Each structure stands twice: as C-alpha cells, then as structure tokens.
Structure 1
Amino acid sequence: MPRQVDHAERRRVVAGAVCRLADERGLEGVTLRDVADRAGVSMGAVQRCFGTKEEMLVFTLGLIGERIGERARARLARSPAQSAATAVGHAAVEIALLEEEHRAEARVWLAFVAQAAVSEPLAATLRENYAALQGSFTRLLAEAGTGADAEREAHALLALADGLTAHVLVGHLTAAQARDVLDAHLRQLWTRVSPGTA
C-alpha cells in the first residue's frame, strides 16, 4: 500500500528549504530544483505542493510571520503579571529579530521584504503580517496609557523594529546598540504619554 504523504508537513519542509536557500543566496538564488534538492524531495513533489514559485514564496513568508508572532505571544505569556509597558518592550525585541539565534531568520525576512516591493502577492502577505502585529502593539500601548495615540505609536514602533533589523544585519549597529535605541524610544514614549508608566 502506498505511503500516505502529510501534505501540510511536506509544505512546511519545502518552506524550510526555501528559508535555508534564501539565507545563503537571497531569494534570487531560490529555484524549484534547488528547493527540491535541499528538501530531499522530487521536483514533482514540490510542484504538487505549490503550483508556482510565487505561491511557494507566499506560503513561506506567511510561515515566517506566524513563527515571529508566535514567539512574541509566547514571550508575553511567560510573564502574565508584567506591565503593558514591559510587554511592549519584550514584543518589540522579538519582532526586531535582534537575538543572534534569529539572525538567519532576519536575513530571510528582509529578503522577502525587498522582494515584496515588486511582488503584489508577497506585499499582500506582508501587509497581513504587519496588520496583526500592529493590532497587538496598539492594544498593548493603549493598556499602557497611550490613549488616542496608541495606533500612531504602534506604527512608529513597528517601523523602528523593522528598521533596526536592517541596521543590525548590514553592520551599521550592533544588536546591543539596537536594543539601546529601542529601549530609549520606549522610555521616551512612556515619559511623553504617561509619566511613571515605565
């Protein structure tokens, strides 16, 4: 009897191969043939999972976004008694991908962001990811006392976290310097909108 293939798991395996190749070569170095080789499956198996290369990339980007979001949520869940201000800081650090163990993921994320500038399907996936993160930041900032400015401040914080990712990857800032920038921004935010919150 033929072995049953877990289609969802195979898609994740293929996406993992896409990430490893994108980390090594950028997205321009991701071909269906190389993805199949790296995933240890046939070209036909990859094509049965994804109709096109773009569909494969969109799925992979969605998976990366989910993983980052889950990590941020897990960080918040580990310390439920923390203040909203502390929670915002923890979530921002996770999203900025400043930890050494997330450096490969950061390279892949930025490769996708660059490609999204010329790919509407990737851009749409990024907008969904950003909207979810934006919503989380807005709620946390409102709880921390930012009031009517919570949504604007969430936009600024998300943009700062993304920018710090790029600055660390190209060597303009060290991870420690990026954390200092993020901490300083949050301290100014709490002082500006709600003295004594931080």
Structure 2
Amino acid sequence: MPKQVDHASRRRQIAEAVCSLADERGLEGVTLRDVAARAQVSMGAVQRCFATKEEMLVFALGQIGERIGERIRARLVAGPAQSAGTELGHAVTEIALLDEEHRAEARVWLAFVAQAAVSDALAGPLTASYAALQAAFTHLVTAAAADHAHIADHTAGADVADRAAPLDAQREARTLLALADGLTTHVLIGHLTPDQAREVLHTHLENLWHRPPGIG
C-alpha cells in the first residue's frame, strides 16, 4: 500500500483516538501519550503525523465536521426531490446531534467548542466552519422562503394575512445555528429529551413561513 495512503489512514486513526479520549475525559484528558496508547501506535508515530498537539486537535475537529457533513449529504441524496425547506430541516437536525447514536459525537463537539474559547488554534477552524454553515443555511432559507411565497401566490383565495413576512435570511441562518447548538447542550444535560428538542426545532422552522406581515 502506498505510504501516502498509510499516512492518511494513520492520521484518521489517531483522530479517532483523540475523540474517544475527549468523550471520556474532555480535552484536558487528551495527552499525546494517551492518544498513542489508545490508537495503538508509538509516540513517534503520533509526532510524525502531527507536529503539535494543536494540529492534532484541529484535525480531529475537522473529522467530526466531515462526518456530520457526510450524513447531511446522504439525507439529501436519499430524497433528491426534497424541497428547500425539507433540506433545511434535515441539515439543522443533523447538526444538532440529537440522535442517541450521535451522543458521544455531541459530547466531543461541545468539548472542542469549550476549548476553543481559550484556544485560537481551535477557534479559527470553528469560526470558519460556522461561517460555511451559515452561508449554506442562508441559501436554504432564501430558497425555502421563495417556495412558500410561490405557493401562497398560487393558492386560490389565499389571504394576504396568512402569508409569511419577508425574511432576513442571514439573520435566520444565524438563529438556526445558535438554536441547534443550544439544543445539543440541553439534550446532553438532560433538560430536554431528543423528541422535545426536535419539536422545538420543527416548530421554529414552521413559524418561519407563517409569520404575519410586518414581522421581519
């Protein structure tokens, strides 16, 4: 097997060890020695893959983001005829990490977010990730709002008062990101059940398209 492929695989193996330790102990419990032991590689192997601990953490964070992105893409591909509103709902739900099988991933993600508050090395990639998500959400909110406006305009006897007010798509995208992160936290600490969190999220999305005129 080519050396480059081995190197890429080893980096992913180490990243999985980082996430496993972070899930158990938080990022403060992630040391190079423990990562090497969990990944079943030598300290030298870890150091050859990553020049610094910060580089290792940033890569592990990126791996979590990639997995979430893959799940979002898989849900969209599974239903290619979905509306923009449905796509938006799927994307926000995946990012909120509400399912039981994603609970460990949610714990690790929030551990990284907490560490990013005191680490510029992690804050930079996280900020870039949120910016990309906000751009994607802005696009979907804009498209979904247009779909709902089109339906309202072509509904026989539609009352103007029943039509949604114009949206500030970027503001709504920021709100959805904040809501998703908040729901992740509330489910993890047991304040909300996953079903309750989904209800909050879906109610918010439904209300986007059915607000009275003048509320923007």
TM-score (norm 1): 0.92
Q: How does 1:1-198 map to 2 (within 5 A)?
A: 4=3, 6-145=6-145, 149-192=168-211
**How far has the Cα of 1:69 moved from its partner?**
1.6
Q: Which runs of 4+ in 1 moved over 3 A?
A: none
CA distance in 2, matches of 1:69, 1:80: 16
**Root mean square deviation of aligned Cα:** 1.6
**How far has the Cα of 1:60 moved from its partner?**
0.6
- Name 2:155's counterpart in structure 1: none
**How far has the Cα of 1:148 moved from its partner?**
5.5
What is the aligned-residue identity percentage? 71
Q: Secondary structure at the match of 1:55?
A: helix
Note closer, same or farther for the CA distance 1:151–1:51 as it changes in structure 2 (3 Å cut). Answer: same
Note closer, same or farther for the CA distance 1:193–1:75 as it changes in structure 2 (3 Å cut). Answer: farther
Contact 1:69 1:133 in 2 (8 A): no
Gaps of 5+ in 2: 147-165
- How many equivalent pairs are there? 192
Gaps of 5+ in 1: none
**How far has the Cα of 1:67 moved from its partner?**
1.4
Deviation track 1:42-91 (CA, whole Å, cap 9, x = no partner) reads 00000011111111001111111121122112211211111111111111
Deviation track 1:132-157 (CA, whole Å, cap 9, x = no partner) reads 21111111111011666111101100
* Rg (Cα) greater in structure: 2
CA distance in 2, matches of 1:179, 1:50: 38
**How far has the Cα of 1:193 moved from its partner?**
7.9
- Name 2:160's counterpart in structure 1: none
Contact 1:168 1:178 in 2 (8 A): yes
**How far has the Cα of 1:192 moved from its partner?**
2.2
TM-score (norm 2): 0.85
